Homo-oligomer: A and B are copies of this chain.
């Protein structure tokens, strides 16, 4: 985050310097004003496009849990963890092993999950959880 701020600061400083250079340098005398304006417009359009691309590209790759849905559904942290393992394709027994629980406990959490998600099968739970952005 800090690195991003520093980079942007440098970019802005360079841009400001370039503007001053254009303003008082040779270009403004060598070319008519429309060319100058065109250069500025092009550069800023490119910067804007890059910015927009980066902002959405990050949203594409990164995933952030819909915490609002989690609380509104009343999902407990443990249930969310079980849900993640479930979506990873693990069986109840495997989930129990990786979470160091009894298979019975996993079953209980899953039953509660199914009720809160209003589904009856694990495959449906995966679909619903993806819809609600509970899992990537």
Which segment of A50-58, A64-72, A96-104 sits at the interface?
A50-58
Q: Give the size of the chain A interface in residues (CB under 8 angstroms).
A: 41
Listed A/B pairs (17) with beta-carbon separation below 8 Å? A23-B33, A37-B40, A40-B40, A40-B44, A45-B45, A45-B51, A48-B50, A49-B52, A52-B56, A53-B55, A53-B56, A59-B60, A60-B60, A89-B123, A89-B127, A123-B126, A126-B126
- Among A95-131, those with CB < 8 Å from B are 119, 121-128
Interchain CA distance A45-B76 in the complex, whole Å? 44
A42 CB–B CB distance under 8 Å: yes
Contact, CB under 8 Å: B45 / A126: no
Contact, CB under 8 Å: B56 / A60: yes
Most chain B CB inside 10 Å of its own CB: which residue of A49, A51, A124, A126: A49
A88 CB–B CB distance under 8 Å: yes
Interchain CA distance A68-B46 in the complex, whole Å? 31
A47 CB–B CB distance under 8 Å: yes
Q: List 17 other contacts, CB 8 Å, given A40-B41, A56-B60.
A: A37-B37, A37-B40, A44-B44, A45-B45, A45-B51, A46-B48, A48-B50, A50-B52, A53-B53, A53-B55, A53-B56, A56-B56, A56-B57, A59-B60, A87-B123, A89-B125, A123-B126
